[in-house]
Amino acid sequence: MEQKRIDHDFSLQAVPQSHRNGFWKMLMLMLGFTFFSASMVAGGTLGLGLSMMQFIGIVLAGNLILGAYTGTLAYISAKTGLSTHLLTRYAFGEKGSYLSSFLLSATQIGWFGVGVAMFAVPVQKVTGMDTTVLILIFGILMTATAFFGMKALTILSFVAVPAIIALGGFSALEAVDGLGGLDGFMQYQPTETLGAAAALTIGVGSFISGGTLTPDFTRFAKSPKVGVSTTVIAFLIGNSLMFAFGAIGAIVTGQSDISEVMFVQGLIIPAIIVLGLNIWTTNDNAIYAASLGISNITKIKKNKVVIINGIIGTIFAMWLYNNFVGFLTTLGSVLPPIGAILIADYFIVRRGKYPAFEKMTFKAVNWNAIAAWVLGAGAAKFLPGIPPLNGLIGAAVVYVVLSIIAAKAAEANLNLEAEKVTEL
């Protein structure tokens, strides 16, 4: 009877070692996490604006930055067993963590709805099936895998990752052949060039907001080594592959999404399979992570919250798709400073040691973290350079400085109180 009451997603506690996963399970899960349609769109933009050597350099640099950022978060989560939302309680305070959880969750629920529509719209055009029916079917299926938790997400990744690589890879090779083979493809020169800073902004910005949620998955890694290695490999291979698919598709056919390229090539069934699996691996991770965030706020276990979130995302799918993509992109830009503050808090302020979660008494709100997040988001928005990096560095520096000032002020107050006691 006791076994039935266990929350196997550990939405409100650290994941125990007995429920952690090894290298291969985590690698497949993280590869599925990085198989993201928006990365193909970004890859298409880069492919049309850069030479091939420039493209390779920007993609490698962008994914090294993403790998360093997400890999660092993976280390913290694998070490502590805690999700992004529970980790934010240390830096932001218990009530303060609700702000970050709400922003992260709202963004992911929104993208879930957009993803459902991104599947339904092209499939309706090709098959003639009713869009509403497609939205309902796919919304239910994706909500179901998220409901059954990490095991279902892992199984889906084991199916989706090889299928997307094989089918998408075949389509990409066919497209390259149409340009005269690899030599012809490598000789491609853009008609309008893209600057290095703008290109790197696209390369990093395409996934950095989603990457902030890395701890929601890597907390299940058996060790920090497994968490970090699988995360970095996933970004260097998985995300780079998505960029390559997007660049090839855009250059050859004008379509960034490899499934759209397959539609053009007449590969209808493979295209639907790749489109569905690619969006599914993204959306189930999104709704899973969103539900952990709402659990942090409401204290309701994840598997109950995920149903509500899935229903909301499915019902509003077309509306979100038609009206809110730009807003969600803008909202996503304010999320990376949250991850930067977590990293700064763990490694610099707390020197790599967090007290056990179940023994912690958290502040209600840590205003230093809130201020650092606001200023980091402002740096990303208004400072020249590469906005995602501005946001990360700005938030981390401000948080550390404010934490040092607060610690010195607290020490001074203690000394003052001690002197008053001595005088008495």
Our separate counts of H helices and E strands in the chain read: 21, 0
CB 217 within 8 A of CB 285: yes
What does the pLDDT read at residue 180?
76
CATH at residue 14: 1.10.4160.10
What does the pLDDT read at residue 1?
39
DSSP string covering 327-376: HHHHHHTTSHHHHHHHHHIIIIISTT----GGG----S--HHHHHHHHHH
What does the pLDDT read at residue 346?
97
Q: How far is the CA of 345 from the CAs of 232, 398, 404, in angstroms?
A: 22, 11, 11
Measured distance CA(69)–CA(74) in Å, rounded: 9
Q: For 340-380, what is each residue's pLDDT tens digit?
A: 999 999 999 999 999 999 999 999 999 999 999 999 999 98
Q: Which of 329, 113, 373 is nearest to 207 (CA)?
A: 329
What does the pLDDT read at residue 421?
65
What does the pLDDT read at residue 306?
94
Range of the domain at 254: 3-336
Alpha-helix runs per DSSP H in 148-267: 150-177, 181-186, 196-205, 208-211, 215-218, 224-233, 240-253, 258-264
Q: Is residue 413 part of a domain?
A: no
Q: Is residue 141 part of a domain?
A: yes
Could you give phi then psi for residue 221, rounded to 5 degrees?
Answer: -75, 140
Q: Which residues of 158-183 are buried (b: 16+ CB within 10 A; e: fewer)?
A: bebbebbbebbeebbeebbeebeeee
pLDDT < 50: residue spans in the chain: 1-4
How is residue 269 written in tokens? 């069934």
Q: For 203-223, what is each residue's pLDDT tens digit?
A: 888 888 889 999 999 999 999
Q: Is residue 399 part of a domain?
A: no
Q: Is residue 69 part of a domain?
A: yes
Total domains in the fold of the chain: 1
Q: Is residue 163 part of a domain?
A: yes
Q: Is residue 346 part of a domain?
A: no
Q: Is residue 356 part of a domain?
A: no
What does the pLDDT read at residue 183?
81
Q: Is residue 363 part of a domain?
A: no
What does the pLDDT read at residue 423?
60
